[in-house]
Amino acid sequence: MSFPEFEKPSPNFSSSPVHERLGVVFHHSVRPFEDTIARMLDPASEVSYHALIAIDGTRCTLVRDEAIAWHAGASVFQGRTRCNDFLLGLAFAGDTYAMPLASAQLDSAREWLTPRWARFGWTAEWMTDHRQISPGRKDDLNPMEWSRVAAMVRSF
């Protein structure tokens, strides 16, 4: 199945240096899909993801892969700081503590990941969630939902 995808370019990104694209940080937005897009389009929010996935699997691209989206904040992964510079940000609309990820969201994430996985030579070791790279500061994803995402990622 191919999920609908559209672009709404966020002003909240850096174009230099070029993004390293070594892997992905998975997030949940807490807010509904349309509300999250509105926030990402507001320059005052100073936050963005590369892409956002709605409950029905629809995807909104907010920042192109080559640019640095402002999604991780203070973070450390694989011994490196500044995760925004080398990990793409993919968010699921909603709150994974309030409601589990929909099957369509996981399927859409797989569809988004598939071409990038081969192009960038990714491995499961370079996939993580916000909770793990910003412990004590961020709590997304719900550990149960991260387990589902991690199982999907390991199937590549």
Indicate if the pLDDT at residue 125 is higher than 80: yes
Residue ranges of alpha helices (H) inside 81-155 are 103-120, 130-133, 143-154
Q: What's the pTM value of the predicted model, to 2 decimals?
A: 0.97
For residue 102, the 8-state DSSP code is P
Looking at residue 33, what is its pLDDT?
Answer: 98
Looking at residue 109, what is its pLDDT?
Answer: 98
Domains of the chain, residue spans: 5-154
Q: Which CATH class is domain 5-154?
A: alpha beta
Q: What is the pLDDT of residues 62-102, one digit of tens each?
A: 999 999 999 999 999 999 999 999 999 999 999 999 999 99
Pair of tokens at residue 61: 């691209």
Burial 24-53, CB ≥16 within 10 A → b, else e: bbbbbbbbebeebbebbeeeeeebbbbbbb
User: Pick from 144, 155, 148, 55: which is nearest to 108 by CA?
Assistant: 55
Looking at residue 25, what is its pLDDT?
Answer: 98
Q: What is the mean pLDDT of residues 108-130?
A: 97
Burial 88-121, CB ≥16 within 10 A → b, else e: bbbbbbbbbeeeebbebbbebbbbbbeebbeebe
User: Pick from 7, 1, 25: which is nearest to 87 by CA?
Assistant: 25
